[in-house]
Chain A
Amino acid sequence: MIDVFRSEWTKIRSVRSTVWTLAVTAVLMLGFSALVSVAAKNMANGPVPGSQVIVSSLTGAMMASIAMATLGVLVISSEYRTGGIRTSLMAVPQRMRLLTGKIVVLAAVSLVVCLVASAGAVGVGVVISQPPSVEMGEVARASLGSGLYLTACGLFGLGLGTLIRHTPGAIVSAISLIMVLPTVASQLPGQWGRTVAEYFTTNAGLLVVSGESRGSLGPWSGFAVYLAWVAVAVIAGAVLMRRRDA
């Protein structure tokens, strides 16, 4: 299995598009943090409380989630686009081994980059806003939550890419599921509609970034719900990958 990990790492690091999407993620996190923190500071009369600084400095997570999902899509769809998937499967004919290799390497790379970017974003926010006090435990939880959330977005993209195999189709689906449909779901009427909206992908997933609770979901239970969405996409992709001709 370690052989496949090494190969997938070589693939990720040796192509510009994947390196770029990771860079965009980091830039979005840091940039949004700076932008929102400056704006918040200018609007507030008096010092901004520490907990609010942390939340607003992670505003970029919404945008960065699309960059990460794109990275996840590209990890597999670029192989289907070029036909390189056949070369990969000739080398690793056990398809689940290949997919596992992609999942593990993408998750590891994403986690490192997103944790650093998230912590950096909080740091930028704190430096700009200069809150009277910052609780380090809260900083760590928020950075960890944001890093995990963005990593999950990458895996969501990988699942959709495996399922759909076409880059544009998979990216559009990812944007719909991560950004568009959660907003649409929030417009659903009644108690039933509210529950659907609560459990809908990033509506649940973003709770771990903000540290808030909404309805019956807290930060970690919300993240668990989001992981379930990701798992469905990955498992559906895996089943089809096994069954379909390459």
Chain B
Amino acid sequence: MTAIRATHLSKRYGGTVAVADLSFDVEPGQVTGFLGPNGAGKSTTMRMILGLDHPSGGSVLVDGRPYGELRHPLRKVGALLDAKAVHGGRSARNHLLAIAQTNGIPASRVEEVLEVVGLAKVAKRRVGGFSLGMSQRLGIAAALLGDPEILLFDEPVNGLDPDGILWIRTFMRKLAAEGRTVFVSSHLMSEMAQTADHLVVIGKGALIADTSMSEFIGRSSQSYVRVRSPRLAEVADLIRVGDLHADHLRVTGVTPLEIGTITARAGLPLEELTLVQPSLEAAYMELTKDSLEYSS
């Protein structure tokens, strides 16, 4: 079953459109990256998924139901929105205990998740004194309390040191490998490139792409096939759609297999036939260049 399904989801604040007619599905067993420049509407969308903000139009279902209708939501969905959104005067353990109690989760589970995220030793300390990295771990502990099938993380690596980033990345991959749904937002391409299997890309609140990572990169016009041959001019004549450079032919919109088949039929020898893909970063820049909220 589709874990999260947004259908024509919209959100307006007065005259400003934060999210516009957004439809996408998030499937289990993989990390889905939710990508877009700052101000694209990622956080707003996440809050609507979690029933915190009311959509101006459309709907979003979690496991087939609106979030607000889930009996024990934390056993189904765990989310980390803002790691610093905790009462600084409460100890880590009491913070988690108060959350656990609402969903009938036993206190022993609090100790378990503290252990999982590596905060067991500071469980009695007031969370106001936690570093950002520790707060992030506490937020993840809260998300894991109900052992949920669906996990949402909003910009989880923001402000983390390399150790923390690696930890979160590995952790999200592990959760997905266990068959859970992991939906993680970021404005950092390079981060997504190393974590996500699937991408939902938005800009100015509207959907730009909803594809697998490889397809997303491949679809960019900057990906091309480099063809080199001792009889390059003949190959160029045959393919017709390529750009002829001094020592190679650059072909877009045709797969290497198609090129190889055509040249083989004509009996033309090939020296090189390579699919050249841009980095995810480049593909992303190209797709979102028209939808930057604030461009320099």
Residues of A within 8 A of B (CB): 3-4, 6-8, 10-11, 14-17, 78-79, 82-84, 86-94, 243, 245-246
The 6 A-B residue pairs with the shortest CB-CB distance, nearest first, are A83-B85, A14-B94, A7-B101, A245-B53, A91-B102, A10-B98
Contact present for B87 and A86 (CB under 8 Å)? no
Instruction: Decide: B99 and A7 in contact? CB cutoff 8 A.
Output: yes
CA–CA, A82 and B84, complex, Å: 8
For residue A203, give the distance in angstroms from its CB to the closest CB of chain B: 35
User: What are 30 pairs between A and B in contact, CB < 8 Å?
Assistant: A3-B103, A10-B101, A11-B98, A14-B91, A14-B94, A15-B87, A15-B90, A78-B87, A82-B86, A82-B87, A82-B88, A83-B82, A83-B85, A83-B86, A84-B87, A86-B47, A86-B50, A86-B81, A86-B85, A87-B99, A88-B99, A89-B51, A89-B52, A90-B52, A91-B74, A93-B67, A243-B54, A245-B53, A246-B47, A246-B52
A237 to B51, CA, bound (A): 19
Contact A84 B86 (CB under 8 A): yes
Most buried by B among A4, A8, A245: A245
Instruction: Determine the main DSSP class of A at the interface with B.
Output: helix
Min distance, Cβ A160 to any Cβ of chain B, angstroms = 20
> From A94, which residue of chain B is reached at the shortest CB distance?
B68
Query: How many Å lie between the Cα of A60 and that of B90 in the bound state?
Result: 30
User: B residues within 8 Å of A by Cβ?
Assistant: 47, 50-54, 67-68, 70, 73-74, 77, 79, 81-82, 84-91, 94-95, 97-99, 101-104, 142
Whether A90 touches B79, Cβ cut-off 8 Å, given contacts A4-B102, A14-B94, A245-B52, is: yes
A113 nearest CB across to chain B (Å): 19
The reply to whether A84 and B85 form a contact with Cβ atoms under 8 Å apart is yes
Counted as pairs of residues, one from A and one from B, with CB atoms less than 8 Å apart, the total is: 85
CA–CA, A83 to B54, complex, Å?
A: 17
In the bound assembly, the distance between CA atoms of A100 and B102 in angstroms comes to 13
Docked Cα-Cα span, A10 to B87, in Å, equals: 13
Q: How far is the CA of A190 from the CA of B74 in the complex (A)?
A: 59
Cα A143 to Cα B88 in complex, Å, equals: 36
Complex CA distance for A84 and B99, rounded to whole angstroms: 10
Please tell me if the beta carbons of A245 and B101 are within 8 angstroms of each other in the complex: no
Query: Which residues of chain B come closer than 8 Å to A6, judged between CB atoms?
Result: 101
A93–B89 contact, CB under 8 A?
A: no
* CB contact under 8 A between A87 and B86, given known A7-B101, A92-B102: yes
Contacts of A17 in B (CB 8 A): 89
Say yes or no: A3 contacts B101, CB within 8 Å: yes
Q: Which residues of B contact A83 (CB under 8 A)?
A: 82, 84-86
CB distance from B160 to the nearest CB of A (A): 19
In the complex where A7-B101, A14-B94, A245-B52 touch, is A90 in contact with B85 (Cβ < 8 A)?
no
Contact: B52 with A10, CB < 8 Å?
Answer: no
B99 → A minimal CB distance (Å) = 5
CA A90 to CA B150, docked complex, whole Å: 13
